[in-house]
Amino acid sequence: MLEPLIAERLAKSDQHIAIAGSGGWIGLATLDLLEKALGNDLPHRVSCYGSAARTLTLRSGRTVEQRPLRALPSLEAHRIWLLHFAFLTKDRAETMSIADYRAANDAISTTVLQAATHLPVEAMFVASSGAATKANDPTASPAMRLYGQMKLDDETRFAAWSEQQGRRAVIGRIFNITGPYINKHQAYAIANFITDALERRPIAVRAPRQVFRAYVAIRELMSLNFALMDAQPQGAARFDTGGTAMELGDVAQKVADILGGGPVERASITEAVPDQYVGDDMRYANLLRHHGISSVPLERQIAETADYMRHPAT
């Protein structure tokens, strides 16, 4: 659930919440959180948009209709908060040509930007990525650099929108998250570890170098986003997701301790340069404290993610 005071404020407000990219991991998790906060008002207070029209199913069994993103400019609502999760991620950059990948994401961003400009959008959350820090990193893969550069472009584009339009943009660089509706399990180390533990296999960490990650729960992240969107009427606010940085061997052991899996099999460290993909935890922690948001311990994050992986929405 969202932080109780934030959920209460949302329930009492009259903002309409539009979600661009509602069918992805963060979009579905956010929709689930909003269902808990808004109850039966959800269909009237929230509208969903994505690559195509389809029916989204939440864990409660509630179904929500997603409209094509091109329909976003036609939304009829008086006051709007817009959550922008729509983006083709790194895995698509690995399979598409550079030109096609750029064109597809530019088209998404243009559609959202034009809608945000012409609709009564008071505040927007833009889901950026820690990959933005890799845009000019020669050690990163070409797909990561391309994905990161396009996320940087989005950060610039929507920050400029907030300044030019006198409206609010919250831009969050998301590094590592956990929670319900996690997808693409093979792409996320923690999902791999949880899968191994649930199936009572040894938890394998194969990286030949030290790998550091720091995790936050989606419900914690979205509580902060809503608080920041409500904090002031205009301008751009930027932050990284935080969390305590841990080497993946230690993360795997934490998963084993919580879920009863293991043993952990950590490959030998044969490469000297570590892989660090973590944000600014000090600023993130200060923001949580300022807005009265409780940090979700990693133990709880693992348990909640595992619970969803055992019983996913169908």
Q: What is the pLDDT of residue 206?
A: 94
Q: What is the pLDDT of residue 14?
A: 92
CA quadruple 50, 183, 147, 170: dihedral sign: positive
pLDDT in tens, 67-124: 999 999 999 999 999 999 999 999 999 999 999 999 999 999 999 999 999 999 999 9
pLDDT in tens, 27-63: 999 999 999 999 999 999 999 999 999 999 999 999 9
User: How many angstroms separate the CA atoms of 255 and 219, rounded?
Assistant: 20
Any idea what the Cα angle at residue 59 is, between residues 243 and 37, rounded to 5°?
65
Q: Is residue 252 part of a domain?
A: no
Cβ-based neighbours of 179, under 8 Å, separated by 6 or more:
29, 217, 218, 219, 301, 304, 305, 308
pLDDT in tens, 172-211: 999 999 999 999 888 899 999 999 999 999 999 999 999 9
Structural domain containing residue 168: 4-177+215-244+279-296
Q: Is residue 274 part of a domain?
A: no
What does 228-278 look like in DSSP terms, one character per residue?
Answer: HHTT-SSEEEEEE-----EEHHHHHHHHHHHHT---EEEPP---SS-EEE-
Three-class DSSP category at 84: strand
Q: Is residue 238 part of a domain?
A: yes
Q: What is the pLDDT of residue 234?
A: 83
Q: Is residue 102 part of a domain?
A: yes
| Entry pTM | 0.96
CATH number at residue 75: 3.40.50.720
User: How many angstroms separate the CA atoms of 182 and 265, rounded?
Assistant: 24
Q: Is residue 257 part of a domain?
A: no
User: How many angstroms separate the CA atoms of 225 and 204, rounded?
Assistant: 34
User: How many angstroms separate the CA atoms of 145 and 155, rounded?
Assistant: 15
Domain count, the chain: 1
Q: Is residue 200 part of a domain?
A: no
Q: Is residue 124 part of a domain?
A: yes
Q: Is residue 261 part of a domain?
A: no
CB-CB contact of 241 with 177 (8 Å) = yes
- Return mean pLDDT, the chain: 96
- What amino acid is encoded at 221 in this protein? L
pLDDT in tens, 7-25: 999 999 999 999 999 999 9
